[in-house]
Amino acid sequence: MYQFFNETKINDIFIITDKDYHHIKNVIKLKVNENVIIVFKEKKYLCKIIEFNNSECIVKIIDEIISNASNININLFLGVIREQKWDYALQKSTEIGVSNIYPVIFKRNVVKINNKDEEKKLIRWQSIVNNAAKQAKVLNIPNVKSVIYNVNDIIKQKSSLNLLCYENEEGTTLKNVLKGELNCKNINLIIGPEGGLDESEVIKLNNNGFKSVSLGNNILRAETAPLFALSCIKYEFDM
């Protein structure tokens, strides 16, 4: 069943417009009396299409769907990588489950972002996340935040558990850290770009409460590492 996010509710009626209206009417071609799922203010509703007009699809609530929200809030600080791989990481991170995504330009980043291009990129990235959230039927759409250009701005976002995935970490694994933090509700997760993090960035983050963790013996690609780490976290906290 198709799911849509909506912000217009009048009693037991939702009004679907713009891109979602076009998708329902002209792409997937749903008809009156067919059902859809609507997400509104972190709740899911089973709804029936009752009317189409020139620019709106009107749906009526049949019942509320009880949905188990995630037990953990995850902020992903992800080094920006090449476009196709970056899009993939955004999409799959959304599907697995993440609360906020912070694009980061680290010292060793291959990809650079001009300030004048940032707004256009953020709009595009949020669109990718929105579409992935619809497809995966997640309850909350992750927010793509403004680009971070200095690790000091990551440090300002410190949470109850702050993790840095670091390929040179040998003593501490992500698995071991998570098993000791099962009551944690908020996690900051840092994953670098293709070139990894500069040692000075690692030292500064470690000195400010970010714990370096290993993702295992294999060196993971920049677009694979967030998916592996997020899956480990979701398994420990939500499964």
The rounded distance, in Å, linking the Cα atoms of 141 and 87 is: 16
- Claim to verify: residue 78 and residue 19 sit in the same structural domain: no
CB 191 within 8 A of CB 215: no
- The domain boundary, picked from 10, 40, 65, lies at 65
**pLDDT in the model for residue 69:** 66
Ranges of the chain whose pLDDT falls below 70 = 68-69, 239
CATH of the domain at 55: 2.40.240.20
pTM check: above 0.85:
no
**pLDDT in the model for residue 216:** 87
The rounded distance, in Å, linking the Cα atoms of 215 and 166 is: 8
The residues that bridge with 173 in the sheet, in sequence order, are 214
Domain of residue 222, residue span: 73-238
Which residue in 18, 81, 87, 88 sits closest to 54, CA to CA?
Answer: 18
Q: What is the mean pLDDT of the chain?
A: 91
What b/e readout covers 143-182, taking b as 16+ CB neighbours within 10 angstroms? ebbebbbebeebbeeebebbbbbbbebeeeebeebbeebe
- Claim to verify: residue 30 and residue 136 sit in the same structural domain: no
Measure CA of the first residue to CA of the last residue in the chain; give whole Å: 23
